[in-house]
Amino acid sequence: MRSTPQCLVAALAEAIRSIVSAASPSHAAVTPCHDARFGDYQSNVAMALGKKLGKPPREVAQQIISGLKVDDVCSKVDIAGAGFINFHLRTEFVARQLVEMAADSRNGIAPAAQPRRIILDFSSPNTAKSMHVGHIRSTFLGDALARIARAVGHAVITDNHLGDWGTNFGMLIYGYKHRLDRAALARSPIAEFERLYREINAASQSDKSILDAARKELALLHAGDAENLKIWKEITDFSLLEFNKTYQHLGVTFDHTLGESFYNPMLQGVVDELKKLGVAELSEGATCVFFRDDPALKDAAPMIIQKSDGAFLYATTDLATVRYRVNEWKSDEILYVTDARQQLHFKQLFAAATKWMGKEKPELKHIVFGSILGPDKKPIKSRSGDPIKLTELLDEAEARARKIIGEKNPELTKEEQSHAARVIGIGALKYADLCQNRDLDYVFDWNKLLALQGNTAPYLIYAYVRVRSIFRKADSNNISSNRFQLQAPEELSLAKHLIQFSDAVHPILEDYRPHLLTSYLYELAVRFSRFFEACPVLKAEEPIRAERLALCDITARTLKTGLNLLGIETLEKM
């Protein structure tokens, strides 16, 4: 069996399937062992096949092992428990893989077997409003998935689908014309827009004439009134300026920022086409898509795409967006990264797109996530009860990180401390979010996310700094990456984990879970720490010294690459 560090899991799985044709790809899956006592890789294929074939799993496992040809990779393959097949890698094989990884500019990450064109729709704030803590999970998760998908060779297009055409613009434009504070607008545009909306919205509750006037302003905007379009554009431009400052601070970029307004000219055509094809029908004056034949949606209300007064809805815009992404970007897959509250909307959207486009429809997936909770286990809020503004959260993260850095390393210059505070503070926020299983809620805890011990960004960044400091202390950077003996158990343990890097990256895109990578990186830092404590590097005799320096170098590269895939920077000093 031939293999490289880039495809070891796939190669072992293929070896199993070559023996048992009845094994499906999912049945033959191979994963790294969680407990090194049982081996390096493991498969439960025998249990799945035993049930299917009516045979004892251990008997099936023995038949598979007898036919496997993996002697060049494994020192032994044995059976554990009810029928788990455990693979134990040869030290010589690990050493060869490490040599290849050292020479690989991709750091061992395998290219995808079937590259796809993936559209990632994430973050999506509403204009005229501040980004807040509720945007954290979508922004961090979407950015990480885009980075990871690109790293394995997929063509990725990121799109920030702004909410810039909603009903709130009627009140905003009315407020802009009648109650705008120009000085406040100059100081803080978003704050002034938020004040205008709150003020006009409150006034409209008791004064129907203001509500009617706001509705008229919205109608004029949608009809293309020049003055209202100018005001709308000014509001949008100010909002984008503020958003982009935040994204730049976070190191997040987008290929496109196409808001709801971009699709407005396409909406009537979408409705007309859906009616013509029989996908949509009139019901009580409104145009709707029904899902009578869909067991999961038949009891839900229909998806309205045009109201009886001619107004369109979010669903109409989202359908137009799907078609645009298919026609213009030739998408194979579109991922929507939003919270779980929108699950029904996306189920209906995907079902409607299937009825409309048939085989031309790309894969549509809703990547849901839980909430960020405060100490009271309720969605985190500010003291006033409003969502915490994202800029305030970022500022606090940096301030807290700067205090820790000043106490630990007062010898750093102010510029170095500021830079380190940004990297650690922002990195800590990102890592604290991405290390969670995305389905679950988590409690936000400053002390935990900024801790220098445990599964945190500061710990991993420190681990990287610790590795790099070895080279600053070395009088010679002689690195031997052409041969590894891996005589010490700590060396072998570290090496085995390093060559699993690609195996840690690829499964993330099977179910869009970056926490798999955070677990890998944390374990890498732990194994390096054990290696460093047990195996002298700079004081070792040659050629062991050069080989251990090479191990350190590959570890540093892997930590840096892995953190970068999560959108987290590293430091050379800390």
Environment class of 182 (CB within 10 Å of its CB; exposed 0-12, middle 13-18, buried 19+): exposed
Where do the DSSP E strands lie in 210-317?
A: 281-283, 286-289, 303-306
Residue 1: the pLDDT is 41
Q: Are 197 and 175 in contact, with CB atoms under 8 Å apart?
A: yes
Confidence of residue 6 (pLDDT cuts 50, 70, 90): very low
Q: Is the pLDDT of residue 296 over 90?
A: yes
Task: Tokens 């062991």: give the residue.
Answer: 544
Residue 2: the pLDDT is 39
Calculate the average pLDDT of the chain. 93
Confidence of residue 476 (pLDDT cuts 50, 70, 90): low
Where do the DSSP E strands lie in 427-551?
A: 442-443
| Domains assigned to the chain | 8-89 (3.30.1360.70), 117-163+256-367 (3.40.50.620), 168-250 (no CATH), 411-565 (1.10.730.10)
Q: Are 475 and 535 in contact, with CB atoms under 8 Å apart?
A: no
Q: Give the mean pLDDT of 486-497.
A: 96
Q: How far apart are CA 544 and CA 480, in angstroms?
A: 9
| Per-residue pLDDT tens digits for 78-131 | 999 889 999 999 999 999 999 999 999 999 999 998 999 999 999 999 999 999
Residue 33: the pLDDT is 87
Main-chain phi, psi angles of 443, to 5 degrees: -90, 125
In 180-207, alpha helices (H): 182-187, 189-206
Q: Are 319 and 342 in contact, with CB atoms under 8 Å apart?
A: no
Residue 21: the pLDDT is 66
What letter would DSSP give residue 83? T
Q: Is the pLDDT of residue 349 over 80?
A: yes
| Per-residue pLDDT tens digits for 377-415 | 998 887 777 889 999 999 999 999 999 999 988 999 999
**The token pair that represents 193 in the structure block:** 């827009």
Of the candidate ranges 41-50, 144-153, 309-318, 460-469, the one whose mean pLDDT is the lowest: 41-50
Confidence of residue 49 (pLDDT cuts 50, 70, 90): confident
Q: How far apart are CA 405 and CA 243, in angstroms?
A: 28
Confidence of residue 262 (pLDDT cuts 50, 70, 90): very high
**The token pair that represents 238 in the structure block:** 């100010």
Q: How far apart are CA 532 and CA 511, in angstroms?
A: 35
Q: Are 470 and 531 in contact, with CB atoms under 8 Å apart?
A: no
